[in-house]
Structure 1
Amino acid sequence: MIPLSFAQRRLWFLAQLEGPSTTYTNPTVLRFSGSLDHEALEAALRDVLERHEVLRTVFPAPDGEPYQRILPVSETGFALVVADVAPEQLTETVARTARQAFDLATEIPLRAHLFIVGPDEYALVVVVHHIAWDAWSAGPLARDLSVAYEARRTGTEPGWEPLPVQYADYALWQRELLGDENDPDSVLSQQVEYWREALAGVPEELALPTDRPRPAVRSYRGHQAELVVPAEVHGRLVALAHERGMSLFMVLQAALAVTLSRLGAGTDIPIGSAIAGRTDRALHDLVGFFVNTLVVRTDLAGDPTLAEVLEQVRETSFGAFEHQDLPFERLVEELAPARSMTRHPLFQVMLTLQNAGSAKLDLSGLKPSRMAGGAPTAKFDLDVTAAETFGADGTPAGIRGMVVAAADLFDGETSVQIAHRWVRVLSAFAEDLSVRVSAVGILDSAEREKLLVEWNDTVVDCGVSTLPGLFAVQVERDRDAVAVVFEGVSLTYGEVDARANRLARLLIAEGVGPECVVGLALPRSVDLVVAVLAVVKAGGAYLPIDLEYPADRIAFLLEDAGPVCVIAGSVDVAVGVFGGVACVVLGEPGVEERLAGLSGAELADVERLGPLVASHPAYVIYTSGS
């Protein structure tokens, strides 16, 4: 039995874990106008199945151990499904077709539908499961299908050269290359040790600027945002990469790490990077799942310059490329990070630079145009894909791509903002490498204006009032509402107001008015609240005095603040602590008698020693160091 490649095995495992799913299906939707030979197209697709064994492979798992079973084309059950569809129903029909899951144990990983939209108007939907496909595969598949269609349309068979190897050969070769895990000199053992050291202590989860908490179960829905880097910036980045002896991909990697850090992800930034994995020329024309994933980790601690970030990414990337044979799936098994069904292990952000060339399908002069195949799938928290474009003379014409953000975590607008911020950081790399990471701007002028001006324009005309005036408004609003509760005693706003008014009149009689200080030597209690309000109603400023202070500290407060009087809770305190200062002792019979004879009605300015104004001091506080 032929084993699965390591990459296939992980996808097979996920399929068992998640059940029927379209998470790892890849739909391609093409529109055609012109004369299309249905029978020739179906025959050409069968030719492609014959040529690429992986497309006619199923993955049964007797006793729980999967293997590759390669079927003859005649036993695959493949047929090009042809159906008429009204133009207004095409989008939904295509999306529904793309959402159909594969049963990997019994179904080959390719299906095709041809929808007839009108006279000489077609939509071709080809869906391939990732277990038999990667982005590079689009080129060989399109090329072979074009050759086969042209041959079948003219009544002949395609005359292509036989492929030197098949995917099953690769799966066997991969295991032979890596060697025995128990052999310390094997490629597998040596590369495991490299990655174990390189990823020691890597964050389990990157702190991305999400709009909502991570859910218990992933939906794999995504928001897609367009990525556009201007030609001028593209050109400078290409020159920069050449000057530094690195690839453009490394520059993009460094800029993305800085972007994520500036968005709050910290200074230890692991980013997944997809590499073609076709290390032998014999694999270049083969359809299959060869892509491997590396984790490039960038350390931004210490606020390095952009030049220093580039140098670090260059060295880290070269080390990763030298140890790229270890399948990511095996790396996860070896490192055994904390696993979660809601996030990708070892990294949550993927960066891919598409440089395999565009897939060109030519069906006897019918030039197809691409059509969306449904909502984007989010396999990662953020999946960033970029591709270079060039002018007719080969000069850089800009970088185009997309950012797919997990809809479970991000709003659609957030994905757009992240794309824009990455472009700004790329511009910063192109302009001045001496800038430190902390100084890289990620806001445009409108965002900066909103942050610094609009959001800080919080001035509100509240009018001019005093604390007694504000309290009076509340009493008028609801005098029977409970205002103070302490140890079983509660007072309404009306009761607090009346008691404070009586005490304020007593304080005025003691000489308390605006600019005067009154000491408060009361424990936490209802009386303390009433006393504070009474002092400010009289026009004075209250001075809290903690009776647990040392005697010399209290003496300093009295001498420095010069209170007119002190409100105390007992005669012992008044005599023992404030013997040289006038005291109003609450609860003392003489004081209570005086209070009972005073009015609880609101005070008028004519009763005070001076009118109340908002600029008068309300309290005096001595901090521990003053």
Structure 2
Amino acid sequence: MIQELNDDIDLQCIDAEEFDVKGLIEPFDLGKGTCRFRIIRTKAARYLFMDIHHIVADGTSLRILARDIGNAYDGRPLAKEKCIPISKEGTAYDWAFHDSVFGAVEAASFPLRDVYSDAPSKAVKRVEFGTDAERLRRFYKDNGFSRTAYLATAFGYALDCMDPRGRAYFGLLQSGRTEDTSDAVASLAHTVPFTVSFDGSPIADVMKESQRIIEGCRQHDVSMSDFNAKYGFSAEAVFAYHKDLRDIEMISGHDSSPKILSEYLSPAPEKIRFELCDKDDGFALLVTYRTDYYTEGMIDSLISIFIRTVDAAFVESGFEDIDITDKASALQLDSFNDTDSDKDLSEAPIEIIEERMSDRKDSVAVIFKDVSLTYGDLDDVSGRIASYVAGKGIGCDEFVAVLVNRSERFVTTSVGILRAGAAYQPLDPSYPKERLNFMVKDSGAKLVIADRDLAELIDEYEGEFLFTDQIEALPPGEIKAEHRPSDAFTILYTSGTTGTPKGCILENGNLSHFIDYHSKTMGFGPDSRVATYASFGFDANMMDVFTTLCNGARLYILPEEIRLDITAMDRYFIDNEITSSMMTTQ
């Protein structure tokens, strides 16, 4: 039953130096009323402030109240109030429909969290954008679905682009109003579950299915709390199409329009909320998001994809045909082709690293778990290795194999070998024995630096070992080898899936050009924090290790136990303020 508002309305007049909105908003004591009205007089202006509890009024009610207050203030007649009984008769409270739609949903697309904070907080963004309104209207009218179905599907596609799983799930806010209740002041809006699948079907077919789900959820209404409990879901996002809710008019003849103060409300349970209203030949979008979960950049990307989808879905035949790349992203992609350099690329990477070890001695170079090495530490350890390798007569275009567990040692050993003028050969201990033995023999490795517990993996190798537990006892060394662009830097092997593994030698010149390009493209500098994810024997490992060291930056070696746990890696990246990482399938 919708009831007429009682007379117990808190109406006060406040004189203030300035208008402090935040100070006006406070929790309701339901025993004292559900409405709060204030007239605030300042030196600059007068304000009418309304605060109404959601149990008695929804967003549409605010527009109705504002209209009636404006009419009363201007002396215009008001429509007679009436009570309208609301019946749930005819609503089917069974789960058959929901089972058919949501029963098979196992995982849904949603942007990965990129902020971790224990203090709930939120932010609000307002965006206006245009579209071909008439063409959009014809598209959904001709294909038999609603404007809401079109827009909700576009929002689902934006979520799926941020975390492609082929299906999006979120709460869809419905007005709950009929022709009889269109002008009622009441809390009729409610959220229904919504899902949309992107399986390559034509856009029109996907949106027709969205319309079927919207109508089914409206007919077979259930509470969201019961729904989430039954299916184990949580509506992390809410989408609402209000049509003209934001077009609020109250007292005419004033410079400013009424404003809904969404940003001052407490953070809602959902992480992302999109509210859309019609505006001229386009839309006004209000986005509320949890800043303890997302950066503004993440939300800007989601907004950009949503807008481009809304503006293109009535043109393209399939979602895969929609270009979701905005102008800023396109310019960034084009900039990757700018490969000119004003640097002297004849200098070998190890020579640049030696400069960093000299001028950044006290700066952290490598971190692995609780081990932290400064550039001075790296200089000391790698110098001992370089002196030992050179003392064995190993130098230009000769290889020293490295077989170590994932740790800071694959940095110290490779840098030491390069300082001696030789080239390093990475051996991944996860490779089969047969493959490791072949690689060492094929490269003609003159020495193997290994963790003692891994030596048995190359049991066919008959040459000399330097075990990593012996390095600390080696004497300090000062080695100044010659490094030419054509000298070997490393040798990497193919997987051998099509036959015998094949070795590929990379030269100093190759790495010099790549490091220069990669540094410029990724914006590396001394303050960068780079996490190396790839295995030691994979070429992507060099992208992280040597680009980082050449820039005097900080290298984080991801522990093996979290490399296959995307959530743990996400937390690691946030906690350590990682600025970049090359993610591979290795």
TM-score in same-fold range (> 0.5): yes
Please tell me whether the aligned partners of residues 11 and 36 of structure 2 are also in contact (alpha carbons under 8 angstroms). yes
In 1: Cα distance, 2:449 partner to 2:66 partner? 93
Match of 2:126 in 1: 225
The alpha carbon displacement at 1:534 in A equals: 10
SS state of the match for residue 613, structure 1?
A: coil
Please tell me whether the aligned partners of residues 108 and 168 of structure 2 are also in contact (alpha carbons under 8 angstroms). no
Please tell me whether the aligned partners of residues 115 and 291 of structure 2 are also in contact (alpha carbons under 8 angstroms). no
The alpha carbon displacement at 1:367 in A equals: 5.8
The alpha carbon displacement at 1:252 in A equals: 0.9
Counterparts in 2 of 1:55 and 1:337: CA distance versus 1, 3 Å:
farther
The alpha carbon displacement at 1:212 in A equals: 0.9
Counterparts in 2 of 1:619 and 1:430: CA distance versus 1, 3 Å:
closer
In 2: Cα distance, 1:556 partner to 1:416 partner? 48
SS state of the match for residue 62, structure 2?
A: helix
The alpha carbon displacement at 1:113 in A equals: 1.5
The alpha carbon displacement at 1:348 in A equals: 1.9
Greater helix proportion = 1
Map of 1:136-285 to 2, 5 A cutoff?
A: 136-142=60-66, 144-145=68-69, 160-161=79-80, 163=82, 165-166=83-84, 169-170=85-86, 173-174=87-88, 177=89, 187-190=91-94, 192-200=95-103, 202=105, 207-213=110-116, 215-216=117-118, 218-219=120-121, 221-230=122-131, 233-264=132-163, 266-279=165-178, 281=180, 283-285=181-183
In 2: Cα distance, 1:448 partner to 1:199 partner? 37
Q: Which amino acid aligns with 1:442?
A: I
The alpha carbon displacement at 1:275 in A equals: 2.1
SS state of the match for residue 55, structure 1?
A: coil
The alpha carbon displacement at 1:542 in A equals: 7.3
Map of 1:259-338 to 2, 5 A cutoff?
A: 259-264=158-163, 266-279=165-178, 281=180, 283-300=181-198, 302-323=199-220, 326-328=221-223, 331-333=224-226, 335-336=228-229
In 2: Cα distance, 1:159 partner to 1:553 partner? 88
In 2: Cα distance, 1:111 partner to 1:258 partner? 40
In 1: Cα distance, 2:70 partner to 2:449 partner? 99
Q: Which amino acid aligns with 1:226?
A: V
In 2: Cα distance, 1:111 partner to 1:622 partner? 73
The alpha carbon displacement at 1:79 in A equals: 5.0
Map of 1:370-409 to 2, 5 A cutoff?
A: 370-372=257-259, 374=261, 375-377=263-265, 378-379=267-268, 380-389=270-279, 397-409=281-293
User: Which digits, 9 at most, give the CA deviation of each residue in 1:447-476, with x for residues without a partner?
Assistant: 221245269879694753458867876898
SS state of the match for residue 269, structure 1?
A: strand
Counterparts in 2 of 1:95 and 1:243: CA distance versus 1, 3 Å:
same
The alpha carbon displacement at 1:289 in A equals: 0.8
Counterparts in 2 of 1:455 and 1:225: CA distance versus 1, 3 Å:
farther
Counterparts in 2 of 1:203 and 1:279: CA distance versus 1, 3 Å:
farther
* Pair 1:350 & 2:239 matched: yes
Please tell me whether the aligned partners of residues 337 and 345 of structure 1 are also in contact (alpha carbons under 8 angstroms). no
In 1: Cα distance, 2:39 partner to 2:435 partner? 95
Please tell me whether the aligned partners of residues 248 and 258 of structure 2 are also in contact (alpha carbons under 8 angstroms). no
Match of 2:54 in 1: 130
Match of 1:427 among 311, 333, 355: 311
The alpha carbon displacement at 1:371 in A equals: 4.2
SS state of the match for residue 278, structure 1?
A: coil
User: Which digits, 9 at most, give the CA deviation of each residue in 1:312-351, with x for residues without a partner?
Assistant: 323322323333xx253xx422551699xxxx93342222
In 1: Cα distance, 2:173 partner to 2:120 partner? 22
Counterparts in 2 of 1:108 and 1:147: CA distance versus 1, 3 Å:
same
In 1: Cα distance, 2:401 partner to 2:326 partner? 54
Please tell me whether the aligned partners of residues 241 and 251 of structure 1 are also in contact (alpha carbons under 8 angstroms). yes
In 1: Cα distance, 2:115 partner to 2:435 partner? 55
Please tell me whether the aligned partners of residues 385 and 417 of structure 2 are also in contact (alpha carbons under 8 angstroms). no
Match of 1:81 among 4, 8, 12: 12
SS state of the match for residue 424, structure 1?
A: helix
Q: Percent identity?
A: 17
Map of 1:407-486 to 2, 5 A cutoff?
A: 407-412=291-296, 414-432=298-316, 434-437=317-320, 439-453=321-335, 461=343, 463-465=345-347
SS state of the match for residue 443, structure 1?
A: coil
Map of 1:52-67 to 2, 5 A cutoff?
A: 53=3, 55-56=5-6
Please tell me whether the aligned partners of residues 203 and 268 of structure 1 are also in contact (alpha carbons under 8 angstroms). no
In 1: Cα distance, 2:174 partner to 2:259 partner? 25
Please tell me whether the aligned partners of residues 544 and 621 of structure 1 are also in contact (alpha carbons under 8 angstroms). yes
In 1: Cα distance, 2:340 partner to 2:93 partner? 62
The alpha carbon displacement at 1:538 in A equals: 8.2
Counterparts in 2 of 1:403 and 1:534: CA distance versus 1, 3 Å:
closer
Please tell me whether the aligned partners of residues 350 and 415 of structure 2 are also in contact (alpha carbons under 8 angstroms). yes
When the two structures are aligned, how many residues end up with a matched partner?
465
Match of 1:103 among 20, 29, 51: 29
Counterparts in 2 of 1:298 and 1:81: CA distance versus 1, 3 Å:
same
Please tell me whether the aligned partners of residues 402 and 448 of structure 2 are also in contact (alpha carbons under 8 angstroms). yes
In 2: Cα distance, 1:399 partner to 1:568 partner? 64
The alpha carbon displacement at 1:411 in A equals: 4.0
Name the structure, 1 or 2, with higher relative contact order (CA <8 Å, separation 6+).
1
Gaps (5+ residues) in structure 2? 366-376, 451-458, 467-475, 502-586
In 2: Cα distance, 1:276 partner to 1:535 partner? 70
Please tell me whether the aligned partners of residues 505 and 538 of structure 1 are also in contact (alpha carbons under 8 angstroms). no
SS state of the match for residue 441, structure 1?
A: coil
In 2: Cα distance, 1:409 partner to 1:506 partner? 55
Please tell me whether the aligned partners of residues 234 and 399 of structure 1 are also in contact (alpha carbons under 8 angstroms). no
SS state of the match for residue 285, structure 2?
A: strand
User: Which digits, 9 at most, give the CA deviation of each residue in 1:6-64, with x for residues without a partner?
Assistant: xxxxxxxxxxxxxxxxxxxxxxxxxxxxxxxxxxxxxxxxxxxxxx73533xxxxxxxx
SS state of the match for residue 114, structure 1?
A: strand
In 2: Cα distance, 1:211 partner to 1:551 partner? 42
Match of 1:68 in 2: none
Match of 1:614 in 2: 485
SS state of the match for residue 5, structure 2?
A: helix
In 1: Cα distance, 2:10 partner to 2:437 partner? 96
The alpha carbon displacement at 1:254 in A equals: 1.4
Please tell me whether the aligned partners of residues 420 and 480 of structure 2 are also in contact (alpha carbons under 8 angstroms). no
Counterparts in 2 of 1:288 and 1:264: CA distance versus 1, 3 Å:
same
SS state of the match for residue 163, structure 2?
A: helix
Counterparts in 2 of 1:533 and 1:264: CA distance versus 1, 3 Å:
closer
Please tell me whether the aligned partners of residues 108 and 166 of structure 2 are also in contact (alpha carbons under 8 angstroms). no
Counterparts in 2 of 1:455 and 1:322: CA distance versus 1, 3 Å:
farther
The alpha carbon displacement at 1:144 in A equals: 4.5
Q: Which amino acid aligns with 1:189?
A: Y
SS state of the match for residue 258, structure 1?
A: helix
In 1: Cα distance, 2:414 partner to 2:60 partner? 77
What's the TM-score once normalised by structure 2's chain length? 0.62
In 2: Cα distance, 1:531 partner to 1:347 partner? 47
Q: Which amino acid aligns with 1:403?
A: V
SS state of the match for residue 370, structure 1?
A: coil
User: Which digits, 9 at most, give the CA deviation of each residue in 1:478-514, with x for residues without a partner?
Assistant: 99xxx9xxxxxxx99679858866874664xxxx875
CA-based RMSD of the aligned residues comes to 5.3
